Amino acid sequence: MLSIRILASVGTLLIALLNLKPMSRRRRGVTVILLVFATMVSVATLAREAVSDRQRCAVEEQTQHQLSAIREQGDSLRTAVAPLRVLAQERYPTLPLAASLRRLARDYERLQRGLDSVAAIQDRDTFTPLAPSIRDSVIKRLVALRRMYGSRRMIADVNWGKDNLNRIRVGEQLLNVFRMAGIEAREHQGQIIGTPGPVAIYVDDEDTQLFSHASAILRPLIGGRVDGRIESATGVGCMQIIIHGVPEFSRAGEVSFK
């Protein structure tokens, strides 16, 4: 199309040249220059139009591709939704389609909440390691506690019994946290007698402040129900932690007791 239009313009110019009346060489030269310039302008205009046509075609082609993709997505969505429409109409036959779909969506949300609750209950009974961010915070606070005692030796004896796997894991985790904080920690197994609560911390009668510090710092590892016991033979800077309860776990691994 572009070639035909250019040839037509050039042909028109040639005819005009051939029909020129006799004139001086100078005027003829000027006329030829003007005609050549006009031809160049025409060619440039045609070239711009051609570029615009190509751009328009490219835009149209891209638009067609996008429309095709949208139609395919719509077809796929209709295919996926079709069973839901059938189910909604079967379950709520007296309602319009839109209303029955909304009711079906609410039914699904209630079912999902129920499943989440069941999963949460199951998760509580499964040992979950303490989240690294919480563990690191506990270790940092234990390091600060150890520095309060200066050069005095700090010892933590942990007794968790042997009859509950989750309690064993809680005790082992507690030992590891103490050791990472630079506190000597030992497994102190023995019969647990006379512990009314799930966890008890024994401290020396000359170091009662250790109980308040330890119970607050170790809350993510031993829960909040902690009994304080005074034992004169424990020694300053030393504690004995007895885990007696059945532990439960949050999703972050924080411990509580049934």
- Pair (72, 162) in one structural domain: no
| In a domain? residue 110 | no
| Residue finishing a domain among 34, 58, 91 | 91
Per-residue pLDDT of the chain (258 residues; tens, 9 = 90+): 544 455 455 555 545 554 555 555 555 555 556 555 556 656 566 666 666 667 777 777 788 888 888 888 877 877 877 887 888 788 888 888 888 888 888 888 888 887 776 666 667 888 889 999 999 999 999 999 999 988 888 999 999 877 788 988 999 999 999 999 999 999 876 655 555 678 989 898 888 899 999 999 999 999 878 888 877 667 888 998 988 888 999 889 999 987
> How many structural domains does the chain have?
2
Could you please report the per-residue DSSP string of the chain? -HHHHHHHHHHHHHHHHHTPPS--HHHHHHHHHHHHHHHHHHHHHHHHHHHHHHHHHHHHHHHHHHHHHHHHHHHHHHHHHHHHHHHHHHHSTTS-HHHHHHHHHHHHHHHHHHHHHHHHHHHHTS--PPPHHHHHHHHHHHHHHHHHTTTS--EEEEE--SS-HHHHHHHHHHHHHHHHTT-EEEE------S--SSEEEEE-TT-THHHHHHHHHTHHHH-S-EEEEE-TTS-TTEEEEEE-S-EEE-TT--EEE-
Task: Name the domain boundary from 91, 112, 141.
Answer: 91
The answer to whether residue 97 is domain-embedded is no
- Closest C-alpha to 164, from 30, 255, 88, 35: 255
**Same domain? 143 vs 253:** yes
Residue 108 lies in a domain: no
Does the residue 100 lie in any domain?
Answer: no
- 245 falls within a domain: yes
Q: Are the CB atoms for 226 and 199 separated by under 8 Å? A: yes
Residue-range definition of the domain harbouring residue 29 = 2-91
The dihedrals phi and psi of 44, each to the nearest 5 degrees, come to: -60, -40
201: domain CATH number is: 3.30.70.2390
Whether 139 and 218 map to the same domain: the answer is yes
**201 exposed, middle or buried (CB, 10 Å; 0-12, 13-18, 19+)?**
buried
Picking from 33, 59, 91, the residue at the C-terminal end of a domain is 91
